[in-house]
Structures are given as C-alpha cells and as structure tokens.
Amino acid sequence: MSSSFKHPQRFIISRMKSVGSSVFPFLFALHFSFLWATSAHPHQSFLHCLTLRSENSTSISKLIYTPANSSYSSVLQFSIQNPRFSTPATPKPLVILTPLHVSHIQAAIKCSLKHGTQIRVRSGGHDYEGLSYVSDVPFVIIDLINLRSISVHAKNRTSWVQAGATVGEVYYRIAEKSRTLGFPAGLCTTLGVGGHFSGGGYGTLLRKYGLAADNIIDAQLIDVKGRILDRESMGEDLFWAIRGGGGASFGIILAWKIKLVHVPSTVTVFKVNRNLEENATKLVYRWQYVAAKLHEDLFIRVILQSVYASQEGKRTIQASFNSLYLGGIDELLPMMQESFPELGLMREDCIEMSWIESTLYFFGFPIGESLDVLLNRTSLTRPRFKAKSDYVQEPIPEVGLEGIWKRFHEKEAESALLILTPYGGRMSEISESAIPFPHRAGNIYQIQHYVYWEEKETAASERHISWIRRFYGYMAPYVSKSPRAAYCNYRDLDIGANNNKGNTSYKRASIWGTKYFKSNFERLVHVKTMVDPANFFENEQSIPPFSSRWK
C-alpha cells in the first residue's frame, strides 16, 4: 500500500480522475425551481431585514452572497466536502452569510425567525450527509469561515478557538507556542472545529486523552434569542449537551476553550502492510484481542481495503497497521514484542518525529513537508462518498473476517475502506454520561465503513450506496446490539429513515438518537426543550424538543 494512505481523502488522490456533477431526476429539479420561485419573497425580506439590523449596512453587504452574485457559486462550493451534495439539482441556499462579527449572526437569527427561513451553519463542511449546506425548505447558510481566530496560552495549557478554525490551524498555532503541547482532535486537518468538537472528535490521542469534547472547558454560543452565552451563563445542562450532542441542535457555536495536553518531544510512527497471502486474516483477528489493552501511549489502528497484488495483477485484501506511540523507538520495540509480536515490527518500520509532524504524517503528507500545509483549508481531494459506523464489543471470528474479504472483492468495493480505531485506555475510564458521547467501556474498537466513487452518473452513486448498505447488513451479527450504536459525527440518514416502528418525527428521531447517544438521548431532548422549544435550530437529525412527541 502506498505511503500516501493514512486517511481516505489522501489515499484516493492516486485513483481520482476528473469528475463532474451528478444529474438528479428532472422532476426534482423542476420541484426545486418552483420552490425557488415561491421563496423569492422571503429571500428579499430576509436581506432587507439583515441590512436594517446591521450596524454597518455597507460592511455586511460585502458578506452576503445570493445567486445573483458572481462569487455565490465559489463561496458555496469552497467548503463542500462531498460532491454527492453538489449537483445542479441539489437545493441551494437563498443567501450565504460569511459573518465577521457576532452581531452579523445575531441579525441573521432574528431575521430568519421573522421571515421563516431555516438556518444551516457551516464551519468546515465535512458533515457526511451535507446537512450544513443543504435543506429541502428555504434556507440560508451562515458560513463561519471568517471566524477562525486562535489564541494559545501555553503557560496555563489552554486555548480559545473560534468555530470556523480548522483542526490543522489549531495544531499549527499550538506548535508555534510549544512542541510539547497538543490536542486530541481529528486526523483530517481541514475539519472545522465548530462541528467536529461538538460531535465528539477523535484522533490518534484518544486512548491517552479521550475525545476533543472531553477536553473542552468553556464555550461561547448564540442561542435562539440572540444571546451570547458562555459556560456560566448557559448553565451546565446546555454546556453538557453541546460537547458531543451536536451543537447545531442548540444554537450557533462561536468558540471553544480547550484544555491542551502534554505530548513528548519525540513520538514514533509506523505503518506495516500485510496482504491475505501474508497472514493478514490472523493478524487482524489477533489485533482485536490486543488493541484495546495496549498501553495508553500506544495507538494502532487498522485500515482494510482491496488492492492489486504487485505481480499477478489480481486483487487481494490488505490490512495496514498504522500507529502512533508517544515515545521513542527504543521504548516501542520491546513493548510491541511483548504485546503484539505476531506483527513482526522491525526498527526500520519506525520513524521518530515530533507530535506536530505526526499530524501531517497521518493526514498523508510526505515526510519533511512544511508545517504550513496545516493552514490550508482545501481538502486533498473531494470524492463522492457514503459512510457508516459501528462499534465492536466482541472480536469478529475469522469466518466473519473472511466474509468481509469476500464482499470486498465485489466491483463496487474497489474503492471501499474499513477503518478500525482502537478504544480502551482513557476511553474506558470516562463515564457514558459524562458528555452525550456514550461509546466508552466495553467497546474494543470503532469501525468506519467508507466507500467512494469517481463516476458522475446517478446510477454509480446508487450502486455504491447499495453496496455499503448491503455490507452494513452483513456486519450486523458482529457489532454492538440493542442498540446497534453509531457515531454522530459520521452522520447517516439511513438510520431511522422510513422506519415502520413509528410514524411520528419523535419516534424516528429516537431510533437514530438512541444509536448515537444511547440513554443520553432523553437528556438531550430535555435540554433542547429548555433552550429551543420551538425547534428553530433544526436539521434532518437534530435533537427534537419534547413537544414533538405529539406531532
């Protein structure tokens, strides 16, 4: 497997070709054209209201984009990370606002309430189902790209980070102040922290320090009344809810105050690839027994994919064991020899570097790349994709793994991945109810199911989505049950869709809500009811208020 693959987006660069937009059915396009025509009045009324409420109408006019504006398309497209939701027939916002000041957001909330337009908030655009920039009702986007300041206080190990900043920018600014401080957030450096932190957020430090949301100590949020709230003024219930429950359900996150964590001056990374012909099945099976029991300083994930064998041109399955150790090679090698000797790790497999350099390594940048690439908000590539998630509590038997290999030989799986992320360590020590994210003790690892494709035809999308749904069905006996849990940051609109267990919106919500949050879902509903009883902050999988039980 090539060294470029440490993250799905980087890996697929080598396979991506020039792609265009999918074409949705004509009737859907016709429907949206009608919707646009009928929504022209609220569009104009919203803009008029926004200008009136702005302290400087000239200033805010430069931050507003409508379809009549020449920059509208480029602003909309810039943060769309999944082209599956960027087609001519995809519903578009009436207005995009890129605020420079909190007052711009407050005005947008008040005008949306007055004129019946829905708000979608975008910080990085990585949401898997496009919910931050697509809606089937008249809507506006508040794009936080300009609210991205980061202030790092190395002495007291804290930082205030505005919601529009990216994970890469956070890492970069921390490294400017200290090479022995870090933060346990994601591997994808273009993630916007507004949504990433509010849904949990994890990376290579999760076994040592938990999630990003576990390390948030304060926040700033604008509520439905336009008030700016911090931890003290919002209260502990709302502060609990936005750290793992998805901030978009409760208001608009402005900034997070995060607790920085210690990292050693030297860390070690390695990547060991093994094909089926090199005992991959038994290695993956054995990994399941050791990964969550390793020392908390050692993180070893596994990435499974179908690859071409080097000589014969036939496809095989490759398991890539990808690791970060918070220490040097001389400490790592005896630890691996004792805990996972089957992998056969050698000194030449290992590379020592700083922790900040490891963030580039895991996102797929070449060794020696300048740290400045962390400031780039543009993703390495933007494929059409569909993803799902699972949690594994008992090792999958070898026969179950062999069933995975069989399905990965299907045509649609040529660009499919399984990413197995180990738990244990700190993740097993934090209570399920400490924050809304409940997936703690008892989970050996998390699975991200991921399939992407380069064809632009709608039929290609349907084939690949159908494949991952069938594959997800195959995995049911091997993953968590009652509920079959899922990670809310890997949003999946298949969950609860057209489910016959109940015909009310609340009953549908309780299906995905229980999978994402388990018993914490009811507490999230309680908080939602307190702070947004009319459900102004709404999307297809936002937390519903209690009143929706009767709708």
> Tokens representing 218?
């304060």
Given this model, what pLDDT does residue 5 score?
35
- 246/307 Cα distance (integer angstroms): 36
- Long-range contacts at 231-237 (CB < 8 A, ≥ 24 apart): 237/523, 237/526, 237/527, 237/530
Whether residue 4 is predicted with pLDDT greater than 60 in this model: the reply is no
Query: What's the pLDDT tens digit per position in 379-403?
Result: 777 899 999 999 999 999 999 999 9
Q: What is the pTM of this model?
A: 0.91
Q: Average pLDDT for residues 329-355, to the nearest whole number?
A: 98
Q: Where are the beta strands (DSSP E) in 288-359?
A: 298-308, 315-325, 350-353
In three-state form (DSSP H/G/I as H, E/B as E, the rest C), the secondary structure along 419-478 is EEEECCHHHHCCCCCCCCCCCCCCCCEEEEEEEEECCCCHHHHHHHHHHHHHHHHHHHHH
The verdict on 339 and 454 lying in the same domain is yes
More confident residue, 53 or 97: 97
Inside any domain, residue 78: yes
Is the previous residue joined to 42 through a cis bond, with omega within 30 degrees of 0? no
The reply to whether 154 and 246 lie within a common domain is: yes
Highest mean pLDDT among 8-12, 17-21, 48-52, 519-523: 519-523
Domain assignment of residue 498, yes or no: no
Domain end (from 478, 513, 535): 478
Report the C-alpha gap between 104 and 541 in whole angstroms: 26
Query: Comparing C-alpha atoms, which of 172, 183, 195, 184 is closest to residue 126?
Result: 195
Domain coverage including residue 533? 505-550
CATH of the domain at 103: 3.30.43.10
Q: Is the pLDDT of residue 39 over 60?
A: no
129 part of a folded domain: yes
CB 363 within 8 A of CB 189: yes
Residue 496 lies in a domain: no
Question: Residue 327 sits in a domain of what CATH number?
Answer: 3.40.462.20
530: how many CB neighbours lie within 10 A of its CB?
15
- Section 76-96 average pLDDT: 95
What is the reported pLDDT for 380?
74
Q: Say which CATH number the domain at 157 has.
A: 3.30.465.10
- Distance CA(220)–CA(96), nearest Å, equals 22
Q: Given 243, 262, 281, which residue is the final one in a domain?
A: 262
Shortest CA distance to 230 belongs to which of 222, 219, 241, 238? 219
Residue at 18 is within a domain:
no
* Angle in degrees, 0-180, between the axes of helices 520-531 and 505-517, rounded to the nearest 10: 120
Indicate the SS3 state at residue 161: strand
> Do 127 and 60 reside in the same domain of the chain?
yes
On whether the CB atoms of residues 164 and 180 are closer than 8 A, the answer is: no
171 in any annotated domain: yes
Residue 157, C-beta contacts closer than 8 angstroms, at least 6 positions apart: 181, 259, 260, 261, 262
Residues in the chain: 551
- Annotated active-site residue 490? The verdict is yes
Last residue of a domain, one of 236, 262, 288: 262
466 in the same domain as 410: yes
DSSP state letter for 537:
S
Quote the CA–CA distance of 505 and 402 in Å, as a whole number: 39
Neighbours of 406 (CB within 10 A): 12
- Whether 451 and 415 have beta carbons less than 8 Å apart is answered as yes
Residue 378 makes CB contacts below 8 A (sequence gap 6+) with 78, 190
Same domain, 422 and 521: no
Q: Does position 509 have pLDDT exceeding 90, yes or no?
A: yes
Question: Would you say residue 32 lies in a domain?
Answer: yes
Contact 476, 499 (CB under 8 A): no
Same domain, 316 and 428: yes
The reported pLDDT for the residue numbered 59 is 76
**Residue 428: both structure tokens together:** 């097993």
Q: Give me the helix-helix angle, 40-53 and 102-115, nearest 10°.
A: 140
Q: Do 411 and 395 reside in the same domain of the chain? A: yes
Is 370 part of any domain? no
Distance CA 388, CA 487 (A): 8
3-class secondary-structure state, position 384: strand
Cα-based distances in Å from 534 to 65, 140, 531: 28, 18, 9
Query: Which residues, other chains included, contact 161 with Cβ-Cβ below 8 Å and sequence gap of 6+?
Result: 150, 170, 193, 255, 256, 257, 258
Task: Pick left, alpha or beta for residue 454 (phi over 0 → left; psi -120 to 50 → alpha; otherwise beta).
Answer: alpha
**In the structure, what pLDDT confidence band is assigned to residue 97 with cuts at 50, 70 and 90?**
very high
Residue 434 and residue 311 in one domain: yes
Average pLDDT, the chain: 91
E strand or H helix that includes residue 49: helix 40-53
What lies within 8 Å, CB to CB, of 247 at 6+ separation is: 194, 195, 198, 221, 253
Catalytic residue among 65, 361, 490, 516: 490
Residues 409 and 531 in one domain: no
The answer to whether 449 touches 388, Cβ cutoff 8 Å, is yes
Please report, in angstroms and rounded to a whole number, the separation of the first and last CA atoms in the chain. Answer: 52
Say whether pLDDT at 498 is over 50.
yes
Residue 53: predicted pLDDT: 80
- Pick 108 or 18 by higher pLDDT: 108
**Domain tally, the chain:** 4
Write down the pLDDT at residue 1. Answer: 40
How many CA atoms are closer than 13 Å to the CA of 245, on its beta-carbon side?
28
CA distance 355 to 371: 12
Same-domain status, 81 and 221: no
Strand, helix or coil at 476? helix
- Among 302, 292, 421, 285, smallest CA distance to 342 is for 285
R_g of the chain computed on alpha carbons:
23
- The reply to whether 136 and 177 lie within a common domain is no
User: Confidence class of residue 313 from pLDDT cuts 50, 70 and 90?
Assistant: confident
Q: Are residues 176 and 244 in the same domain?
A: yes
Give the C-alpha distances (Å, rounded to integers) separating 168 from 79, 81, 364, 419.
Answer: 15, 16, 13, 21
Question: Which is more confidently placed, 177 or 507?
Answer: 177
| Rounded distance between C-alpha atoms, residue 382 and residue 16, angstroms | 9
| 165 or 27: which leads in pLDDT | 165
| Residue 405 near residue 276, CB atoms below 8 Å | yes
- pLDDT tens-digit profile of 193-217? 999 999 999 999 999 999 999 999 9
